[in-house]
Amino acid sequence: MITEVILKEKEVSEKLNGFSFEEVGDDHLYTGLQTPMKKDAFKLSDEEKKEKIASLFTQIMDVMGLDLTDDSLQGTPKRVAKMYIDEIFSGLNPANKPKVALFDNKYQYNQMLVEKNITFYSNCEHHFVPIIGKAHVAYISSGKVIGLSKLNRIVQYFAKRPQVQERLTNQIAEELKAILNTEDVAVIIDAKHLCVSSRGIKDETSSTVTSFFGGKFNISEKIAELQNTLNY
């Protein structure tokens, strides 16, 4: 039995490149491009999920010693369940993915298009506390364009799930590459993590910047041009 436990711990350690689960969480590491989901993630309907979350959150509040007969707290479990499913984690459900229509680039605009300062709110998948930031998205048309608001909606869709910033950056970029059929995509995210500022190291001043530069954006001159545009 002891041997089995040791082998299991070794297997887990190798899977996490030598890091423990606690270290992965505190160091904000992630395991892949795809958001980790169970195969039967959508076996329950949204209403069934809300009902179950409300029940479980009631237990959490009870364990914490909160008085659930108080007028202010009675509705909290249902409010939390609704918030999780319909709002802050709605991006987990593919049914909520933005519908995107492509249009011909009739203006023949062949320079980079930049949508900057897209405000988003996400949640750290390690501690379930907010990530608050701005995303800057750019692309060069390969003959097709999309509506500007769709860029914002794509950012919001991937942000509304438990996230790690590096994954969020890459997911947005890969989605845009697939939709626009081009490698010429750039994504920069500058965000503040409350799991860093409100707990652990408690650093209130730092922010995290991640970037993706694909195709024509992956050369120093184009990166400089993009940075100059963002600094206007």
- What pLDDT does residue 143 have? 94
The gap between the terminal CA atoms of the chain, to the nearest Å, is 64
Rounded CA-CA distance 143/45 in Å is: 40
Tell whether the torsion through CA atoms of 74, 79, 81 and 82 is positive or negative. positive
Catalytic residue (choose from 28, 126, 136, 171): 126
Kindly name the residue from 127, 136, 171, 175 that is annotated as catalytic.
Answer: 127
195 is catalytic: yes
Q: Which of 28, 171, 193, 227 is catalytic?
A: 193
Please state, in angstroms and rounded to a whole number, the distance separating the CA atoms of residues 195 and 182.
35
The conformation of residue 90, written as its DSSP 8-state character, comes to G
Instruction: Identify whether 127 is a catalytic site residue.
Output: yes
Q: Specify whether 136 is catalytic.
A: no
**Tokens matching residue 89:** 């984690």
Q: Would you state the pLDDT for residue 33? A: 86
Q: How far is CA 111 from CA 116, 139, 183, in A?
A: 16, 8, 14
- Which of 156, 165, 171, 175 is the catalytic position? 165
Compute CA 43 distance to the chain's CA centroid, rounded to the nearest angstrom: 23
> CA-to-CA distance for 55 and 77, rounded, in angstroms?
7
Tokens of 108: 């023949």
Rounded Cα distance, 133 and 149, in Å:
18
Which member of 28, 163, 175, 195 is catalytic?
195
Q: Is 28 a catalytic residue?
A: no
Looking at the DSSP bridge assignments, the partners of residue 130 are 123
Question: Burial of 3 by CB count in 10 Å (0-12 exposed, 13-18 middle, 19+ buried)?
Answer: exposed
Per-residue pLDDT of the chain (232 residues; tens, 9 = 90+): 555 545 555 555 555 566 565 655 556 565 788 999 999 999 999 999 999 999 999 999 999 999 999 999 999 999 999 999 999 999 999 999 999 999 999 989 999 999 999 999 999 999 999 999 999 999 999 999 999 999 999 999 999 999 999 999 999 999 999 999 999 999 999 999 998 878 878 888 889 999 999 999 999 999 999 999 999 8
Please tell me which residue in 124, 156, 171, 175 is annotated as part of the active site: 124
Is residue 48 part of the annotated active site? The answer reads no
Residue 13 to residue 4: CA distance in whole angstroms:
14
Beta-strand relationship, 185-193 and 208-213? antiparallel
117 half-sphere exposure, CB direction, 13 A CA radius: 4
User: What distance in Å separates the CA atoms of residue 56 and residue 63, rounded to the nearest whole number?
Assistant: 11
For residues 28 and 163, what is the distance between their CA atoms, to the nearest angstrom?
Answer: 10
